[in-house]
A and B are shown apart, each in its own frame.
Chain A
Amino acid sequence: MVMGIEIRDAASEEFSFEKEKAVAKKYAQRFQWEMILIGVGQACIWLSLWPLVIYEIIPLWAGFIIASICACMAYLPSHEAQHGNYSRGNPKKRWLDSFVGNFTLVTLIYPYEILRVTHMKHHAYTNHDDKDPDFLTSNAKSVVELILVSLNGASTEYEKAKEIYSNDAAFQKGFEKGTKVALAYRAILMLLVFLFPLQTLFLWWLPAKIGTVYTQIFFSYYPHIGTEIGRYKDTRFWQHWMPRYLNHSMQLHFVHHLHPNIGHYDEPKAIEELKPFLIARGVPGAEEIPEKITYNPLIKI
């Protein structure tokens, strides 16, 4: 309710929250088939690497490169599932969120349920140092610091989130469910490393680390550098030397924070239409959003 008053005060009637929501809703309808293809596809390719490498059909170094690419592609399909963007509120399709969300993360060795519940809290409390489970990575001082935090393991922060949300029954239920998956992953990893040590290192553990660092740099760090607390202030539009097709278009992540149900591949068109609203609300970097986002690589050197 307080947020509603702030929003009404912040912008004129022309750019009302209701109108903004109506525009966003248009882009939050489509079935996200591309994301399912990417999620399931990369996990299948990754699984196929094991027999290919063990039977020496392809060399380990080639397997390592392919596995690392798979790991970098693994998070986003799960992220759409975390927001229920496959089922779109249809209870009969919820299995799809759960299936894609879990299956795609096998490459990253992360439990879907823990990521889901902590990600919901990240959206609710973005940039709150005590309540945002991603605070350490999204507010790191540099990319190097972020890499070091990531390599030291993010489990401590997840444990901290479990304590902070100890009174949130839904959070705890999801966390417990995810913990069992995490234990299963750990047991499988230990068994595999004993049987196939170098294959496990180069097909699973190292690619998962690379994928995790990649995800945290582009999904967490760059979109939130120097931003504040507040619906229109906590994520920014940014540009980079890297074409957006190589970093999952995370330059556009701010619109996801405003309207998480907009499908990832529909974000460019949604932003084109929402641009006047974003400028009126003072979204960081909104003035620099080009008129045409679709097919624009958004390179800035």
Chain B
Amino acid sequence: MEKILVGFLNLNKIWFGLIFIGSILNAVSQELVILNEVPYLSSISFLLGFVIGLVAHIRGKWLWV
């Protein structure tokens, strides 16, 4: 159980990207009229959040500086 938890926490940036950033992007994209016609908007938002988290995980930090 502890190993699963440690493995889960080691990927904390990915989870943060997927859930936190994904949710924010999803909420913002729903408000933007210009994106109303875009299909799979929610999926794209969460995927983008996941990718941001994955990049931060690989780089070991969030910012570019």
Contacts and interface: CB of A to CB of B under 8 A. Distances in A.
Contact of B19 (A190, A198, A201, A205): A190
A201 B28 CA distance: 11
A68 B26 CA distance: 24
Interface stretch (A98-106, A111-119, A148-156, A232-240): A148-156
Contacts of B61: 152-153
B25 to A, nearest CB: 9
B48 to A, nearest CB: 14
A194 interface: yes
B20 A190 contact: yes
A197 B21 CA distance: 9
A197 B62 contact: no
Contact of B63 (A148, A186, A190, A193): A148
A189 interface: yes
Contacts of A201: 24
Interface residues of A, number: 15
Contacts of A205: 20
Interface in A239-265: none
Contacts of A189: 20
A190 B15 CA distance: 9
Contacts of B12: 186
A193 B19 contact: yes
A137 B23 CA distance: 31
Contact of A194 (B19, B62, B63): B19
A151 B62 contact: yes
A187 to B, nearest CB: 10
Interface in A133-151: 148, 151
Contacts of A151: 62-63
Interface of B: 9, 12, 15, 19-20, 23-24, 26-28, 61-63, 65
Interface of A: 148, 151-153, 183, 186, 189-190, 193-194, 197-198, 200-201, 205
9 contacts: A148-B63, A148-B65, A183-B9, A194-B19, A197-B24, A198-B24, A198-B27, A198-B28, A200-B23
